[in-house]
Every structure is written in structure tokens, then in C-alpha cells.
Amino acid sequence: MSTSLTRPTTMVEVRSRQSRMMTKEGIQRALAFQPQPTDVIITPYAKSGTTWVQQIVHGLRTRGDMNFDEITSVIPWLEMAHDLGMNLEHPQVAQPRAFKSHLRWELVPKGARDIYVMRDPKDVAVSMYHFMAGWWFEPAAIPLALFAREQFLQPQGPNAYWAHIRSWWPHRDDANVLFLCYEDMKQDLRLTVQRIAAFIGCALDDELLALVVRQSSLEFMRTHQQHFDDHLIREARDAVCGLPPGGDSSKVRTGNVGDHARELPPETSAECDRLWREEIESTLGFPSYEALRVALSRDAG
């Protein structure tokens, strides 16, 4: 009998494989982590600019050093560190120490400086689909509409987009939180780098600013995508998750704003609008993502 591994072709299979990704002990260690006051935790919802901010932070603290295997090796993922054999307490290559997370505010370890990024949920859904296709499932077997409905457009659950943004929004003005908007980052990367540098306490001169802006550009990160493709996670966890080796998981694709208008089926877009009204407008009072973005810009200004 063949024991070769295959990629899932149904969302039921996808969820089953994903349930093996993180161990209970790994998650418990992440939740129990006690950061230092100077630590930085980069904690957006998935596919909302996490890797982008990791690259900016690492470039600022090392003056653009690209001598690393994969970004996870120099900015550990709190929830995955134990399962990758990484000790969160170990010194890092530069100060400040930096970590990645996708935890909601109430779960993220307290005492550090947190960077949050919000992104249009429709673009998040499209980006997540392309990221997982070819790694977690056979792309031809699961269309975008099905994936979005089963994986992303769920109102409840600990990993729901809606609960995540609701948890962080009330803390956008906290002294230890830098609350960013993905679309604004795209619009003015230079200003974004300046804001992050000031937040993490990194002295910024013109040379370093130009270097970090260049190295966090889409063109640069796509050229060096081997540093941002999660291959360390795939090598450590694919077999455990029942996935064959060699999957494509590059996190640097187009980085576009508004891809959903071209790719997301109208009925899926309408479902996202409905969930926004039920999950966000009913609690935060904003009728659309754009209204939330305008409010954030007004607060920042």
C-alpha cells in the first residue's frame, strides 16, 4: 500500500491537517511568555502585512542585514517557536528583540511593544487563498469562493478576522501599541518606516531610511523571496500535518490593494459585507472597512 502524502482536496481535509500544525505545548509556552519592556511583538491578523513589518523591523535594528535563512529564524513566531525547536528566551541577533504573533489582544503576552496592522478583509481572504493554495491544498480542487466561505467568512471562532480586529481596535491609542493600516503602508512606505523606527526606539538617519525602504519594497522582497517563504516551518511541520514536501508558500505575491475587486466572486464579497455589518458595525460602529480606515487616519492625524 502506498504511503505517499498528498495535498487535501476538500476543506474538511484542510482543517484536519491544520489542526496538527501547532502543538498544545507550543501554544501554552507562547501564552506564558514574559516579554521584556523593550521587546517588539508584531501581531496583525494573518495575511495583513506581518512579514512586511518583520522585514522593516529587522532592517532597522541591523542596518539592513540580510544574512539570515528565513525571517522566522531571526524574528520567531511565538505560537510556533517551541515546535520549531526555538527558545524564545535566547538572545537575538540585534536589539530590540522582535517576535511575530497572530494572537488577539487579550491573549498576546503583555509587557512588550506591539505593532498591529489592519487590512481590508476582502483582500485578506484573497491573499490567504493564494498563500495556502499549493501548500495546504491542491489549488484546482478548491476554488476561491469555497475557500473564503469555509476558511475565512466564519463569524465565530478564536481565529476569526472579526474577533481579532475587535480585540485590537480599542487599544489603538495605547502607548505601547502602534496601530497601522496596510493600505496606508502601501501609500507611504517611507512614513511607515519612520513611524516604526520611532516606535521601537531605533535611531534613523537618511542612509538607513533609504536602505530599509528599498529592502522592504515589493520588488526587493520578491527578488529575495527565499527569505520569506516559511520553508523552515514547512520542513519542520509538513510531514506532521500529512503534507508532501515541496509546497509553495511564498508570502510575497503582489501586495496589491483591492485585488478582491478582480478575484472575489460578487456573492462572496456580499457575504463579507454582511459579516462586517454583523460583526464590526454592530460593535465598533463603522459601516465599512473604509470608514474604519478613515477613523484611524483621523486619530493618527
Across the range 179-186, mean pLDDT stands at 96
- What does the alpha-carbon distance between residue 132 and residue 118 come to, in Å, rounded to a whole number? 20
Q: Which of 86, 85, 78, 100 is nearest to 34 (CA)?
A: 78
Sequence-separated (6 or more) residues with CB below 8 Å from residue 120: 182, 183, 257, 258, 260, 289
pLDDT one-digit tens code per residue, 84-94 = 999 999 999 99
Predicted confidence at residue 250, as pLDDT, reads 55
pLDDT one-digit tens code per residue, 122-175 = 999 999 999 888 888 888 889 999 999 988 888 766 679 999 999 999 999 999
Predicted confidence at residue 42, as pLDDT, reads 99
176 vs 262, which has greater pLDDT? 176
Domains in the chain, CATH or no CATH each: 11-300 (3.40.50.300)
Predicted confidence at residue 132, as pLDDT, reads 87
DSSP H helical ranges for the chain: 11-18, 24-32, 50-62, 71-74, 121-132, 144-147, 161-168, 182-187, 189-200, 206-215, 218-223, 231-237, 260-263, 266-276, 282-284, 289-300
pTM of the model: 0.93
Predicted confidence at residue 134, as pLDDT, reads 83
- What does the alpha-carbon distance between residue 211 and residue 64 come to, in Å, rounded to a whole number? 7
Burial of residue 141 (number of CB atoms within 10 Å: 0-12, 13-18, 19+)? middle
Predicted confidence at residue 253, as pLDDT, reads 53
Residue among 58, 82, 102, 260 flagged as catalytic: 102
Predicted confidence at residue 2, as pLDDT, reads 39
Q: Is 164 a catalytic residue?
A: no
pLDDT one-digit tens code per residue, 51-76 = 999 999 999 999 999 999 999 999 99
pLDDT one-digit tens code per residue, 183-204 = 999 999 999 999 999 999 999 9
Predicted confidence at residue 95, as pLDDT, reads 97
Cell 506591539 sits on residue: 114
Cell 517611507 sits on residue: 190
Across the range 241-257, mean pLDDT stands at 66
Predicted confidence at residue 63, as pLDDT, reads 97
- What does the alpha-carbon distance between residue 119 and residue 293 come to, in Å, rounded to a whole number? 9
- Name the average pLDDT for the chain: 91
- What does the alpha-carbon distance between residue 20 and residue 240 come to, in Å, rounded to a whole number? 7
Q: Distance of alpha carbon 101 from its chain centroid, rounded?
A: 8
